[in-house]
Amino acid sequence: NAGVTQTPKFQVLKTGQSMTLQCAQDMNHEYMSWYRQDPGMGLRLIHYSVGAGITDQGEVPNGYNVSRSTTEDFPLRLLSAAPSQTSVYFCASSYSRSSYEQYFGPGTRLTVT
Amino acid sequence: EDQVTQSPEALRLQEGESSSLNCSYTVSGLRGLFWYRQDPGKGPEFLFTLYSAGEEKEKERLKATLTKKESFLHITAPKPEDSATYLCAVQAMSGGSARQLTFGSGTQLTVLP
């Protein structure tokens, strides 16, 4: 199993550009989520999904969109990038929302200039 | 609102010098407290889940304990390979459903040879 994979690993965007961060898992997990990690602030939840076709907002959803058409994939879209979105983004998955162990991907480091 | 505070922010130890990391939390209806390890440039890796006050879990040189207000991660005779950032997170119950994880900002541990 590859576990949770994320692409790209690094990305530089200009203000106003859009892009999609890819996330895939091969563990047949129902629950997937996106976090951002900023220095001194810990991991903050952006969006999550409890299954294909079902998504919901987390703590910091503004400026991001998600969709979940399959169990395996959970892409995160930045609609119009802003410098405040410079961060490291992690995708995670688990068997269900109530599962104790979440598996994290390797992260995408995004810089918006 | 759930809150998690980790201390110290950074800790430098000599190889073999035992110490403890602290995670203080405020949550109504704790379902679980989690410890993760994060290596530079990688996603968090699950270590432990603690469910109730008085519980302890061990893995190699690490032992996690839980009280009603805080958790400690004890590191006994650490080695350089234990160097990492250690993250604490809590999950609460609300209306019979598990809520999202709330993470602390982490303790960066450096073990010198």
* Integer CA distances (angstroms), B10 to A91, B5, B16, B105, in order: 25, 13, 17, 11
Closest-approach residue (CA) in chain A for B37: A104
Q: How far is A58 from chain B (nearest CA, A)?
A: 8
Put simply, the answer to whether B43 touches A48 (Cβ < 8 Å) is no
pLDDT band at residue A24, thresholds of 50, 70 and 90? very high
What percent of chain A is predicted at pLDDT more than 70?
99
CA dist B54 and A80 (Å) reads 48
Closest-approach residue (CA) in chain B for A43: B103
Largest Cα separation within chain B, whole Å, is 49
Q: How far is A81 from chain B (nearest CA, A)?
A: 23
Q: Of B42, B43, B104, which is closest to A42 when you measure between CB atoms?
A: B104
Q: What is the pLDDT of residues A6-19, one digit of tens each?
A: 999 999 999 999 99
Contacts of A31 in chain B (CB under 8 A): none
Q: What is the pLDDT of residues A60-113, one digit of tens each?
A: 999 999 999 999 999 999 999 999 999 999 999 998 777 768 899 999 999 999
